A and B are shown apart, each in its own frame.
Chain A
Amino acid sequence: MTYAFAALAFLMAGLATAQALRRAALWRLGAAAPVDWVSGLAKLPKRYLVDVHHVVARDAYASRMHAIVAGGLLAATVLTAFAILPPLAGSHLYWGVVALAFAITLAGSLLVGARRYPKTPKRLSKGRFQRLPILLLAYAAGGTVAALSIALAGPGNAVLPIALLVAAAGGLGLAYEVKGGPMRHAVAGALHLIAHPRQQRFEQDKPDAALVPLDLDAPKLGAELPADFTWNRLLGFDACIQCGRCETACPAFAAGQPLNPKRLIQDLVASLAPDGPAYAGSPYPNARDVAGEAGPLFKVIGPDAKIHPDTLWSCTTCRACVEECPMMIEHVDAIVSLRRHQTLELGAPPQKSFETLANLREADEPGGRPLSARGDFAAGIELPVISKRGAADVLLWLGDGAYDLRYGRTLRALLKLFHEAGVDFATLGEEERDTGDLARRLGDEATYQALARANIETLRKYRFNRIVTSDPHALHALRNEYRAFGDDFEVVHHTAFLLELIDGGKLAPGKLDAGTVTYHDPCYLGRYNGETEAPRKLLDRIGLSRVEMARHGRRSMCCGGGGGAPVADVPGDARIPDIRMAQAAETGASVVAVACPTCTAMLEGVTGRSAEVRDVAELVLMAVEASRADEPRRAAA
């Protein structure tokens, strides 16, 4: 009878393997991708214990629950398998240890059950996931009783067969779930950690967020069918455990736009394997009607397919979902890949972006404005142009915000600070084109690459030590995404640069008495580049009392302005910046400090806001001017 128990462990392993292989046949439909299995496998424990745990631990209950139930399940099953060794099969101590392992699993199963019963939290999916605690409970309870009965009464006891039967039902059920059910996450998740498409994200401290350039000579541009994704991305979609952390982080979901990252990933899974269990999580808010056949070789996007285009274009590419995902799924990469096909192959970007993309292509600028007008905001403040000098210490990249009336104020403040600190700087003048960030996020990789190449060519003409920009989108493009085109610039955000000037004694700001301030992290600075400290230090240096919003730093919420979302303008129930400003209002701060032209425009566009929106540079200038006003007074005293 003890062998039957051990056999159950092997049977479970066998069934799980068979189910996983059936699933793997689907992954093999995807495009090829180079994977270093040996290195990946060697790094798996670190990736699991450090990188995954770092994310999972944000939810303490889930973290504890997972450690106990997963650890117990694995330990108990492996231990049971050793019962095929006759000396162990006869050892009471051994069976006592097995019983303990099952008991731990049982405790974990109860934690899993307690999370879902009596009431399941909104973000969790139901359906087959509701069965999971029952299967776990059956396996763990059956196993505990069986092992305990052997330990106490020997293998011949009468309880054992019944307990084994219960354990077998639970255990085989769990193994069966490896193909289509909740247990798939265990297998796919482990493989995903090994074969992850972004290996770099485990190797460096800062995020790995640069999009991979698209080969414009490829036979097909972007992803149209599930099979157009590389196989390890399909694997990644299958790793989803439907915990819903992404949907609580997603700004579009919060605003009632038809996007739910969890549902999107599940729709991609369902496109690949239409016969799987039905999705039972929260839907896309205000979901658009779609009707179409799904399958590995059916198109994914369209009103007549699985995912409506509005869903695709609601994304702000803020990466909040990626940041929150414990399974390390790369939602934004998938979205951009799908967008590339829509824009490049079908010519179907959002209606409102037609003009923008045409301008980017034909005028190197999204608004169709003359490049020579980019410096107009300076209005009297000296704005050196590098073509007249050939070299400068700092190249100031102005970005798209320079055309905006409101943002001109911020740039003027920055210029004044530069002059005050005696920075040797210059701009590209009318040679500065758009970085192409917007075109790229809208899927127009061709225009992006043309702009990137043109900009790199311009930048190579001049000598400078580094680029300073106030636009995190430009910063990300220049620093991280242009690297793929053969250039590596040192790019500094203006907040980091100003902090350097203050620390170096070039700027001497006084203390501002302007109430409390809360800092809104731009996604492309915080989440994309991991820079959250410099602006905060700046605010502290100028003596402002700082309060934090509940969501800040790398877990900050998007202003709604990224990824071409404002251009796509998919209607929802609320506007993302309104939600963000309400969060800022909760802190009671009188000033919302920003560090990005897009955030400035989005948050300033909120009507009836109680707090002022000020760029960090504007606040620093106020502090510098305040100290200058104090000087004569101090001298007199």
Chain B
Amino acid sequence: MGYSLSVSQADTVLHELQRDYRIYAPKRFPKQGRYSDTDIIRYAEVNSFADIVWDIKSDYPAKEVITPIQQAIFYFTEDEYRASKVKSKPILLLARPCDINAQRIQARIYAGNGGYDDLYYSRIRELVKFAVMDCNGGDDTCFCVSMGSNRTDDYALALKFSEDGVLVQVVDEDLVSYFEGMPQVDYTHTFVEENELKVTVPDLSDKNVRKALKTHPVWQEYNSRCISCGACTVACSTCTCFTTRDVIYGDNPEVGERRRVTASCQIAGFDQMAGQKEFRSTAAERMRYKVLHKFHDYKARFGQEHMCVGCGRCTRRCPELISISATVNKVSAAVDEIRAALNR
């Protein structure tokens, strides 16, 4: 079923949907950007069609709705505790294919990984239906096509926005009733087939190549360029790392809560062990870890696909202007060099 909605009709449908769904979409937060008089766009609950930022990419990913930067996991009082609760109202999450595919990738880590389902992930994830947002190839940091994450079939609605309103394809039969009386049109969603930016993922199947890459000078520049702030992993659609932190209420250490808080492999101390041992103590080593995790290790562990969906948010958020696509292309060049040397 397809519909063509004006802005006011879109608002009507949105308000109808709000009876049964919390609607999350990219929203503009004016002047809250890193630099003065710049905005940020991040996911938040929207209450009107005008709240939805559809023409540019959000700074932060859709994952924040499902795995917030911080959440309470349980509350404790002396020897008693109880799990935190979440609102049971379902969520309609407006996202582009990159963010929707990112959830499949995150799910492999949170759900079923090691034979264990993460309650705090699943209990929100199962409330979520996606409304895929039309994407015309994004900006010059996007490379979803290179990563094969430009298409998805995991959506209840498909939305093509314009200044005048929105074209809707209703896939989920349960949602048809919310569009009652709205003007029908034929609309079938299509996906972007080419980005301006193309990335060549290096072939790291050879263990000897990987060993040589570990110590290759290609990583060295990040010791002076990367400041290990972690903005890239926070902005990443697929990064899942978190830590837990106990918050003590007032002066009684027996009462408080345990929170799950986003962590970053790029921030010093992430991998610190007992005895202060760190596996990766330099910015270059941490960068290598991240890049190889996104473009080799995850796929080696879970098969099927790379972790990176090519959303380009890490590039956009990096305050030091480090581009992930440029980095991967440099690594590819290094791998070619290594392979040539090994075959000599």
Answer whether A and B are interacting partners: no
